[in-house]
Amino acid sequence: MTENTNPLGKYYRQPQIYIKLPSKGKYYTADVFTPTETGEIPVLPMTAKDELAFKTPDAMMNGQATVDVIKSCVPDIKDPWKMVNYDTDTVLLAIRIATYGETMDITYTVPVINESLSTSVNLPALLDGVSGIDPQDYATTKSGFKIKIDPLTYKKLTKIQIAQFEQQKIYSNVADSGLTESQKSERFAESYKKMQNINIELLIDSIAEITTPDGTVVTDAKQIFDFISNVDTDHQRDRTVVGRSKIPVFIETAVDEINRRTDQEGCTGNIRSSSDI
């Protein structure tokens, strides 16, 4: 039997970079991630179809485009929805490098002087920084509570981000509506309460168990929720530091790079956070 070999097969895309996940796959089952002997997984460049997926607003909003692109470019990750957040940052950065090269140009406006500048960010250096993260499963607050952290998956983060976006849209619509000030205040209060509940949900989802200072271990989700809802402000400051959902690490690193370049330009106003980009 003659094998029908496609003569174009030798031109198919090949892995351009190999990476190690910060989590080392310890949170994943066999149906989510296929580990390799070396611990490094190959990353392919995006196809034209993948690029089009990132240009589809609805697919970007609900996270499906990101999931589809990760499946296409990192075959060892079978279910990207279940990836933990810091692994997702690493994989997306690697896909960017594999597809477009090792630098990324950023144009930004410097606060205070409102001058537009541009810089090139060294992506492999950022990838090294992200990949070198040592995720900790436990954190101890100043009050003596030991908290076991359950990393948020991409699916959980996407669900919460969609809810936040919807509430922000409602807030904007109310502000521009013809409602009376009293009605606006009522709607704003309702929207604010929902946003608070979303943030609490994010926090609860990131806590697997809490060990009290006297050694009692609590794993019941309702009891943890009641604790978060009823502790005083000192405890809240502690758990906020532990449970806060951070922006992607490589974005913060990019901000640092921009600040360094800004200093070299002799500018007086630095970018203070990623929201300034």
pLDDT in tens, 181-214: 787 788 778 877 877 777 777 778 888 899 999 9
pLDDT in tens, 228-251: 878 766 555 554 444 333 434 434
pLDDT in tens, 25-56: 989 999 999 999 999 999 999 999 999 988 88
Reported as half-sphere exposure (CB side, CA atoms, 13 A), residue 274 has a value of 9
CA distance 169 to 175: 10
pLDDT at 266 over 50: no
The tokens for 104 are: 């990324």
pLDDT at 257 over 60: no
143-177 core/surface letters (b: 16 or more CB in 10 A; e: else): eebebebbbbbbebbbbbbebeeebeebbeebeee
pLDDT in tens, 135-165: 778 888 888 888 888 888 999 888 888 887 8
pLDDT at 262 over 50: no
2-23 core/surface letters (b: 16 or more CB in 10 A; e: else): eeeeeeeeeeeeeebbebebbb
CA distance 60 to 53: 8
Name which of 32-41, 64-73, 108-117 the model is least confident about.
108-117
**Three-state DSSP state, 152:** coil
In contact, 250 and 183? CB cutoff 8 Å? no
